[in-house]
Amino acid sequence: MLLQEKMQTADFSPAEKTVVNFILEKQELIQDYTTTMIAGETYTSPSVLVRISKKLGFNGYNELKKAFLEEVTYLKHHFQDLDANLPFTARDPIMKIAAVITRLKQESLEDTLSLIHHDSLQKAVLYMQQKSAVKVFTISNLTFLAEEFVHKLRHIGRKAETYSISNTMIQEAKMTSSDDCAVCISYSGETPELIYVAKLLRQNHVPVIVISSVGENSLTRLGDVVLHTATREKSYSKIGAFSSLESISLILDILYSCLFKTDYDRHYSYKVALAKKTEFRSIDNAIIQEE
């Protein structure tokens, strides 16, 4: 749930609702308002803002203000004249569709990059670097992205696994120890199997990296670190998951690349040596051929 949605549905007193409505109306202009200024314009007191912040799960108004402004900025950037759910119509010629889908993917990549914070990314990479294995938990078509991520990790000598069967995934979560780290991927963050998996992982004190949509959901509440995906698609009223899949793929590639960088020369040597011993094919394309 987006913070603005939470602000509209939370149980507030009449005075608190007045202040919340003021903040929602001002949007990014709230940047210039102090608690005293808001209290003056809403005929309330600064303590009302403290109560609102606490009810929304923040330690104080400054923390609430920062999260609110980040969300407003995100929602007002990118995708201004592009619908991620219905990017083309039945009347569009095929080359226009090709151009629109390309632009949609480009927008999704820029959108994703804007959501990545240095400290969260660094924390996720440290978990992957310090733990003995990386276990990736997801379901449905996202397992293909998980398999590619695991494939990359294994090719630099990292122990990594993912699971295409839900029952196996749950069993592995139960058997995973604090020596490992976990990556849980869900766009909605409300997939029952993954929520159960994350709870099992936390019981075993396993660091959990969550990749999910913007806003708070059941899965992000269980993560030790959260990396947000581009969040522009509806749950089912879309032509295809063009944006979310592109976004998740980018995040996984960034995680892999940042981990690769932690021991660049060794990882590169390992990958090349492994490829020479395991990849056999005849190539007559000069661009692809090795020296």
Q: Is the pLDDT of residue 273 over 90?
A: yes
Q: Is the pLDDT of residue 79 over 80?
A: no
pLDDT at site 194: 95
State how far the Cα of 117 lies from the Cα of 99, in Å rounded to an integer. Answer: 30
Who has greater pLDDT, 24 or 285? Answer: 24
Collapsing DSSP states into helix, strand and coil, what is residue 160?
strand
Who has greater pLDDT, 35 or 168? Answer: 168
Which of 72-76, 125-129, 132-136, 190-194 has the weakest average pLDDT?
72-76
pLDDT at site 188: 92
pLDDT at site 26: 84
DSSP string of 166-177? HHHHHHHHHH--
Q: Is the pLDDT of residue 67 over 90?
A: no
pLDDT at site 248: 97
Instruction: Find out whether 51 and 35 touch, Cβ atoms under 8 Å.
Output: no
Q: Give mean pLDDT, residues 178-182.
A: 96
